[in-house]
Amino acid sequence: MKISVIGTGYVGLVTGVCLSEIGHFVTCIDIDEKKVNMMKQGISPIYEPGLEDLMKKNIKGGRLNFSSDHKSSFVNSDVIYIAVGTPQKMSGAADLSYIEEAAKSIAYHITSDTVVVTKSTVPVGTNDYIKDIIINNLSNDVKVSIVSNPEFLREGSAVNDTFNGDRIVIGTDNKYVADFMEDIYRNLDIPVFKTDIRSAEMIKYASNAFLATKISFINEIANICEKVGADIEDIAIGMGQDKRIGKDFLKAGIGYGGSCFPKDTNALVQIAGNNEHNFELLKSVIKVNNNQQKTLVNRLVNRFAELKGRRIAILGIAFKPNTDDIREAASIVIINELAKLGADIIAYDPIAIENAKKILPKEISYASSVNDALSDADAALILTEWEEIKEINLSKLSNTMKEPILFDGRNCFSLEEVRVSNVEYHSIGRPSLERKLAAL
């Protein structure tokens, strides 16, 4: 089929490239000419493992193209995907301005019957709004069908998730269109769930809100564990073996971040409020997460009392490994707090430093490696569980740092490893381990 995708962010670009990989002819559209020219050369504007290889393969195969021209891109398109951003407003509601622009562009330029598919995460009722915009602005006498087809991709593994997802959700009130959409994905061996449009919209928000709830729940349990002397790692394993609960998203740490969970949880609270429902549970989930992001700062202050002038190494800035995305990352909250307290901060991340420089305080310095960041540091904070950070040789920290003092916000190391390394170690939901000083 001939498919157009509006938007080349994480969702749009991954969706377009993967659709071309399963045999469709895809044009990805972006208004940024420089970005389009870069993508035409097979260069991805985002860091996503495996994506560039697929881009180059399908560009060469003639199935993938990039354009900034909506009109020519829509000619003879069977399907147009909307995959633009829906950033969070100050109120917590989703900003639909990019959605509105995309809908109007479709209305102005399509010349044949078209299926319009919303991939963007949008509040319940938005697809009906999109349909109204298109119908009211059509330049030609054509039929338009609307489908809600939410994405469930994880940054850092989005390509793999596309080909190995748990389900494909198709929301439409037209059985023919539902079958048509299922046929688009026929080369993916993934179960398809068909429902109405508004239920599909809600499935996306409900899924992310539930996962965020699991994260905040396990972090609250971790905080109790520290008070009663239990080990959150064992707790999570014991809980996760119950099939009703499941093991995923029971990893204690410094809270969730990224482009989805914070935005979607706030948006769902807003949606509930707009419909006269006080979503108390989700409000608590958000509050717990906000507090959890400051956990390491509070512990650092308790440990040193005065942070002014102390050299603090930050290991990891991205909100999770295998991405350069720092949106709503706990690292931003932590680094800003430490900067206010006068700490001398040196940060390292293998991918996200350039993005960090755009929003973090100017006085932050950056290291080119883990060892450079640790050199002569008074303490180190692990904020992202990159593999190279998890491979730090703890026994050698005393040769690099002023004192081997480690605050692990992602529980990267087992307590057994730490005990034989002779470092001072503070983690989440587990006992702190003090360094054993050599006898005089």
Q: Which residues are catalytic?
A: 260
Q: How far is CA 366 from CA 3, 51, 346, 353, 362, in A?
A: 42, 27, 5, 8, 11
Is 195 known to sit in a ligand binding site? no
Is 204 known to sit in a ligand binding site? yes
Is 152 known to sit in a ligand binding site? yes
Cα 95 from Cα 102, distance rounded (Å): 13
Is 25 known to sit in a ligand binding site? no
Q: Per DSSP, what are the bridge partners of residue 312?
A: 345, 379
Is 154 known to sit in a ligand binding site? yes
Map residue 336 onto helix, strand or coil. helix
Cα 126 from Cα 198, distance rounded (Å): 9
Is 253 known to sit in a ligand binding site? yes
Cα 297 from Cα 330, distance rounded (Å): 11
Is 252 known to sit in a ligand binding site? yes
Tokens coding 431: 């006992």
Is 250 known to sit in a ligand binding site? yes
Compute the half-sphere exposure of residue 437: CA atoms within 13 Å on the CB side of its CA.
Answer: 3
Cα 333 from Cα 126, distance rounded (Å): 32
Is 327 known to sit in a ligand binding site? yes
Cβ-in-10-Å burial (0-12, 13-18, 19+) of 174 comes to middle
Cα 299 from Cα 297, distance rounded (Å): 5
**What's phi and psi for 59, nearest 5 deg?**
-65, -45
Is 263 known to sit in a ligand binding site? yes
Is 121 known to sit in a ligand binding site? yes
Tokens coding 345: 């901060």
Neighbouring residues of 283: CB distance < 8 A, sequence distance ≥ 6: 269
Is 257 known to sit in a ligand binding site? yes
Residue with tokens 């991939």: 119
Cα 258 from Cα 317, distance rounded (Å): 11
Q: Evaluate whether 304 touches 344 at the Cβ level (below 8 Å).
A: no
Cα 30 from Cα 66, distance rounded (Å): 8
Is 249 known to sit in a ligand binding site? yes
Is 261 known to sit in a ligand binding site? no
Is 86 known to sit in a ligand binding site? yes
Is 194 known to sit in a ligand binding site? no
Q: Evaluate whether 128 touches 145 at the Cβ level (below 8 Å).
A: no
Q: Which residues are annotated as a binding site for NAD(+)?
A: 30, 35, 86, 121, 155, 263, 327
Numbered residues of the known binding site: 30, 35, 86, 121, 152-155, 204, 249-253, 257, 263, 320, 327
Instruction: Detail the residues annotated as belonging to a binding site for substrate.
Output: 152-155, 204, 249-253, 257, 320
